[in-house]
Amino acid sequence: MSRLRAHPERHAVSRIGWLRAAVLGANDGIVSTASLIVGVAASGADKTSIYVAGAAALVAGAMSMAAGEYVSVSSQADTEKADIARETGELAGQPDFERQELADIYIARGLDEHLAGQVADQLMAHDALGAHARDELGISEVVSARPLQAALTSALTFSAGALMPLLLVTIAPSASLVPIEVAATLLFLAILGALGAWAGGAPPVRSVLRVTFWGALALAATAGIGRLFGTVV
């Protein structure tokens, strides 16, 4: 008789929280800092001014990303807590209605009425709130909001992303800073897109094209503004 062997299953959805924040932070760090550097450099500014502008963009951007992610994800967490509290009250006051509501969910997923009722009864007996949170509200440990994790991930990845174009300012010749910055930034973005797709289990080509397109657009826009105004920052 053949025996089934236990095997570990790894799904990308378990990484969706930190992966989203990491990709967003690194992408924003690269694009915003490199675009600012290119814009200031195109205006004719000296290297010191370009470096100061880039360093300020790194610090301000990291703090902004952390604050934004924390506030946004905290709002999501507050909503989840409110829904859980409401569901707790409904389970205490209307257990029969909540049991039928759970059974109806399983019927809609393909179970027959009798089996759906049995599943609902057993899950209600085991962990009624957990069953309703997962199957009615769509809240689970895997996808629940984690504000501090999202904030720290965004800040750190933004800083890492912003550091790459900033370091180029120190090593690239002033005369060719803009083309080197543009080429390196697009390369960084392509690598980031491929890594993000790989970590999420998605095809890399579309991700690479998406991030490089918007990065090139941002670089072109800021370079154009720098050329147009020619203001030394």
Q: Which of 124, 14, 76 shows the shortest CA–CA distance to 133?
A: 124
Q: Give the 3-state secondary structure of 141-185.
A: CCCCCCHHHHHHHHHHHHHHHHHHHHHHHHHCCHHHHHHHHHHHH
What's the pLDDT band for 143 if we cut at 50, 70, 90? low
Contact present, 194 and 62 (Cβ < 8 Å): no
In this prediction, residue 12 carries a pLDDT of 46
| Rounded CA separation 163/225 (Å) | 23
**Angstrom distances, CA of residue 95 to CA of 23, 100, 128, 133:** 43, 9, 9, 15
Does residue 221 register a pLDDT over 90? yes
What does the pLDDT look like over 181-211, one tens digit per residue?
999 999 999 998 888 788 777 788 888 899 8
What's the pLDDT band for 141 if we cut at 50, 70, 90? low
Which tokens in the block code for residue 72?
């946004």
**Angstrom distances, CA of residue 129 to CA of 28, 135, 151, 185, 203:** 39, 10, 29, 48, 37
* % of the chain exceeding 90 in pLDDT: 30
136-159 mean pLDDT: 76
